[in-house]
Amino acid sequence: MLRRLAPPDMQPASFAFNAANAEWAQKEIAKYPPGRQASAVIALLWRGQEQEGWVTHPMIESVAQMLSMPFIRVLEVATFYTMFNLVPVGTYLVQVCTTTPCMLAGSDAVVEACKKHIHPHPHTVSADGKFSWMEVECLGACVNAPMLQIDKDFYEDLDGPITEKLLEDLRAGRAVKPGPQNARHTSEPSGGATTLTDPSLFDGSMIGRQKRGQAAADADRDAPTQKPPGAAS
Amino acid sequence: MGTRKLIIDGKEVEAEETITLLQACEQAGAEIPRFCFHERLSVAGNCRMCLVEWVGAPKPQASCALQVKDIFPNKDGTPAKINTASPYALKAREGVMEFLLINHPLDCPICDQGGECDLQDQAMGYGRAAFHRFNENKRAVEDKYMGPLIKTIMTRCIQCTRCVRFATEVAGVPDLGATGRGEDMEITTYLEKAFASELSGNVVDLCPVGALTSKPYAFNARPWELRKTESIDVMDAQGSNIRVDARGPQVMRVLPRLNETVNEEWISDKARHACDGLVRQRLDRPYVRINGKLKPASWAEAFAAIAAKVRGTTPAKMAAVVGDLAAAEEIKALKDLMTSLGVANLDCRQDGAKIEGGPRQTYLFNTTIAGVEAADAILLVGTNPRWDAPVLNARIRKTWLAGPLKVANIGPAVDLTYPVEQLGTDIAVLAAIANGSHPFAKVLKDAKRPMIILGSGLLTRADGAAALSLAARIAGDSGMIGPAGTAAEGGWNGFNILHTAASRVAALDLGFVPGQGGRDVAGIVDGAQKGEIDFIYLLGADEFDVAHLGRAFVVYQGSHGDAGAHHADVILPGAAYTEKEGTYVNFEGRVQRAERAVFPPGEAKEDWAILRALSDHLGARLPYDDRAQLRAAMVKDVPHFAQIGEVPVHADTSSATWNGIGAQGNLDESLPVTRGIADYYLTNPIARASETMARCSQELVHGATKMAAE
């Protein structure tokens, strides 16, 4: 996908870090030796994106000036990393994983749900301004595939209807629970656990047992085999 | 610095540890194809075309990114074996070439790079047999705007990033960059602004494919149609070595020629792109002013008109001024002609620079261009080297990149592409440095090899002579003046005058300055207005106040219908620098020869020949009949004119010479120090006649935005 700055009519007139972020930025810049301030560019853009929701044209120039970098160098960084949003995003940015495991597990239905409930096109804010969605590469939750990320939370074990309900709940302002959206507990097998099911494993009776067992085994090994000489084998 | 033994293609060689394997292979006689590697740029290692086989290594090695010192010997102690042409290496390169060509359009028939394209050549030499295994669509990339000189066809780009590295490292104008990633990576300027460097044209040479081509030259000619002539650039006084490519009677383009000691392999945009001015505004026949109107005339009529006027006046009322582009031959001819007529009102300093002839080292760039690389402190006074000599400025930047270099500037603050301590425009700062009260005086004193560079902004001041003598004092006090020659030769001379006129040093060498009781340019203008001068011979002189020469009879000999020709009474059409065999002396004092690339248009003639013919009519026949005799006469006057291509060493370090520079006097502190050139792109008649230069001036100097149509 071509990554370019959003058209001028979308761009805000200016950018400035708020007081807290500006103070944080100075600390971040101070981490690097003099002349190497440019090393802070990703951190600053990331914090800028957290503040504004996306990386704007004035933000790129402002960060460049803070770090004494040519504008083009910051633009290169902003366009290289797909984690930087170059267009406005909704209140909830829905990032749908479509890499192989998720795709095999049905991420197409999740994408369809996003198309239906948010916007037919990715990177486009929904009519009510609450959502935008995009496809992303593997987010590392393949065991709970398919999944999506909203802001900093993972919503896992999705299918079409669950995704639609999740989005509707968010739109209506109802509370949603991150993590697996079916009955599954974290990344346990979906039908319940198949191993480690013995309750004694969890009642405390096992504590120290292995150690004791090991000591007994050691004692067995170290003990000399005492057999009287000439005894029949 | 150690060396290391390698066996390259079965031949044992000893390679320096600091070079790359690619260079070592070349020294061993192997040919290594490459796109991204360039000797003068940092190593990117991204095109992978230079793959070679290191026997025992698990993968082919990118030779440009592998230094010789990193190549360890085999376990048994025998030198590492490198194969540059083994089936393994060839197959690796074939694979790289196949990938490069997947997305490269089959544009060659309509591509300006065709015939001099690295990709074309290397696809022939290192590509697979002529079939391909990919049927997918090729990548399409939008073309980018990069200014009035660079045309882009970005689908052809192979992303070698040479242009980005040139802009960032050599030009020092980090406008270019690569945005996006992977297949979507694009080379662009920031928001498609023009690439605002005076060296921008060099990216066209660097581009190994047809992605960046010359906009003014687009679709004009094919390289195999062009006649290539080695020449010397006259757009500034650096004497950059150029190659003039002409087809039929017209110069199609100008390219740089390699000369490590002068311009490396760069030239300025003005040198490269002012050539379209060579066919505009040309004077192609003599004119004589009759009843206030210039009328076409024959050579004989023009000469007769001049002779009539000369007969009617006295030598004291005659004057001659040499312009900025004249070659040494015609300066010598004009000097001899005027001297034999008894004329003392001669001058070559159109801008009014307060430099007397005198010993040669008092008006040269003594450090030499290559010598700049040894400097560790530079004081710039009244100069903007980025405009006065862009290629020299790149050399200063190179020095700054390579090591500690402190630069300070007295004059208007400009971005010189390296950090400069701005000392303001107050001439008093120069005085303060001279008497040691300014902190920079200590920097100069403590420096091992300090330099002072004086530009026209200082030399053309009314108090220029006094300022010059102060500068000489600074040079003497801070130990800038040792035995002449570069540091490498065991000496150092840090006193430098940065001329901007290509003819200036030759004219000063030949003594084209006011003779006994003669007038300088200001005196000539003044005299003309008062009626004390009534005959003025302009040899391509357009840069002074030619509009106010009163009722004086003006003869203009030159190539272009510029200011001087408009006010002339007789016009003698001369040859431009590409149309004559001329000798030029650059600001270091290096004598260089330019060859003729094309013939002068119409009835125009070589300038020295015009003067020789005129001398017959004036009854003062010049004693040479051909160029060889004229050059012999020049060498007799000034022996170093025989040392072509060299900087003669001037070993004079006597304090008498240096104390004699300029004149004692008071500084006019109300006058700020200026930076000389007002508009880089329009400094001479050829550049002013050039449409390309006009466009550059509009966009890059005056900041006009690009036209919507472009």
pTM: 0.91
pLDDT band at A210 (very low <50, low <70, confident <90, very high): confident
Q: Which amino acid is at B357?
A: G
Task: Choose among B174, B180, B181: nearest Cβ to A72.
Answer: B174
Radius of gyration of chain A (CA): 28
Cα dihedral B243, B245, B250, B252 sign: negative
pLDDT band at B207 (very low <50, low <70, confident <90, very high): very high
| Beta-strand relationship, B582-585 and B212-214 | unpaired
Tell me: pLDDT of B360 over 80.
yes
Backbone angles phi, psi at B205, to 5 degrees: -65, -35
* Total residue count of chain A as it appears in this document: 233
What is the rounded distance in angstroms from the CA atom of residue A108 to the CA atom of residue B5? Answer: 59
Tell me the CB-side half-sphere exposure of residue B340, using CA atoms within 13 A: 16
Min distance B147 CA to chain A CA atoms (Å): 16
The mean pLDDT of B565-589, rounded to a whole number, is 95
pLDDT band at A206 (very low <50, low <70, confident <90, very high): confident
Chain A residues within 8 A of B184 when measuring between CB atoms:
1-3
What is the rounded distance in angstroms from the CA atom of residue A27 to the CA atom of residue A44? Answer: 11
Task: Choose among B174, B184, B191: nearest Cβ to A3.
Answer: B184
pLDDT digits 0-9 by tens, B257-278: 999 999 999 999 999 999 999 9
Q: Which residues contact B183 (CB under 8 A, 6 or more apart)?
A: B103, B139
What is the rounded distance in angstroms from the CA atom of residue B403 to the CA atom of residue B278? Answer: 41
DSSP label at residue B493: B
DSSP label at residue A97: E
DSSP string, A9-61: GGS-S-----HHHHHHHHHHHHTS-TT-GGGGHHHHHHHHHHHHSS--HHHHH
pLDDT digits 0-9 by tens, A20-36: 999 999 999 999 999 89
Min distance A103 CA to chain B CA atoms (Å): 23
CB atoms within 10 A of CB B183: 10
Q: Which residues contact B209 (CB under 8 A, 6 or more apart)?
A: B35, B104, B113, B117, B118, B119, B156, B157, B158
pLDDT digits 0-9 by tens, B400-450: 999 899 999 999 999 999 999 999 999 999 999 999 999 999 999 888 889
Exposure string over B285-299, b if 16+ CB within 10 A, otherwise e: bbbbbeeeebeebeb
A contact test, residue of B139, B142, B163, B181 with most A CBs within 10 A: B181
Instruction: Using a CB–CB cutoff of 8 Å, tell me whether B400 touches chain A.
Output: no
pLDDT band at B585 (very low <50, low <70, confident <90, very high): very high
pLDDT score, position A230: 59
User: Per DSSP, what are the bridge partners of residue B536?
Assistant: B319, B554
- Three-state DSSP at A107 gives helix
Chain B residues within 8 A of A72 when measuring between CB atoms:
174-177, 188-190
pLDDT digits 0-9 by tens, B179-194: 999 889 999 999 889 9
Question: What are the respective helix, strand and coil percentages of chain B, to the nearest 5?
Answer: 35, 20, 50
Q: What is the mean pLDDT of chain B?
A: 92
Residue that the structure tokens 């040919």 belong to: B31
3-state secondary structure B684-710: CHHHHHCHHHHHHHHHHHCCCCCCCCC
What is the rounded distance in angstroms from the CA atom of residue B485 to the CA atom of residue B402? Answer: 21
Min distance B138 CA to chain A CA atoms (Å): 15
pLDDT digits 0-9 by tens, A72-126: 999 999 999 999 999 999 999 999 999 999 999 999 999 999 999 999 999 999 9
The mean pLDDT of B21-27, rounded to a whole number, is 95
Torsion of CA B381, B386, B391, B392, to 10 degrees: 10
Please report how the helices A41-52 and A71-80 are oriented relative to each other, as an axis angle in degrees rounded to 10. 70
Task: Choose among B178, B184, B186: nearest Cβ to A1.
Answer: B184
pLDDT score, position A231: 54
CA distances from B488 to A91, B1, B252, B492 (A): 67, 18, 40, 9
